[in-house]
Amino acid sequence: MPKTDKAMVIKLTDEEKKQLETFSGDIETGEKAIKAMKEMGLDVKSLEERLKWAKTAQEVLLRDFT
């Protein structure tokens, strides 16, 4: 398959990029909260999956749209 140049269909603004980068703090807070809930014996599987998705989404958006 021939290699083609990919034109960016969507490009995040500087403000959007900055906002996405600040989500790292929210993700860290979520990780701490999940750890605490786990220690209390709560089922956190769903929360862990959502947090993993959030981290992946942030990485993809920052990598592919900036």
What string of H, E and C letters represents the secondary structure of 11-66? CCCHHHHHHHHHHHHHHHHHHHHHHHHHHCCCCCHHHHHHHHHHHHHHHHHHHHCC
1 domain residue, yes or no: no
Flag whether 9 is in a domain: no
What integer pLDDT is reported at residue 57 of this predicted model?
95
Question: In terms of residue numbers, what domain contains 46?
Answer: 14-64
Instruction: Report if residue 6 sits inside a domain.
Output: no
Distance between CA 25 and CA 30 in Å, rounded? 9
Nearest Cα residue to 61 out of 16, 29, 22? 16
Report how many domains make up the chain: 1
- Report pLDDT digits (tens) over 14-59: 999 999 999 999 999 999 999 999 999 999 999 999 999 999 999 9
| Position 7 in a domain | no
The model scores a pTM over 0.85: no
In a domain? residue 8? no
Determine the Cα–Cα distance for residues 12 and 35; give it in Å rounded to an integer. 32
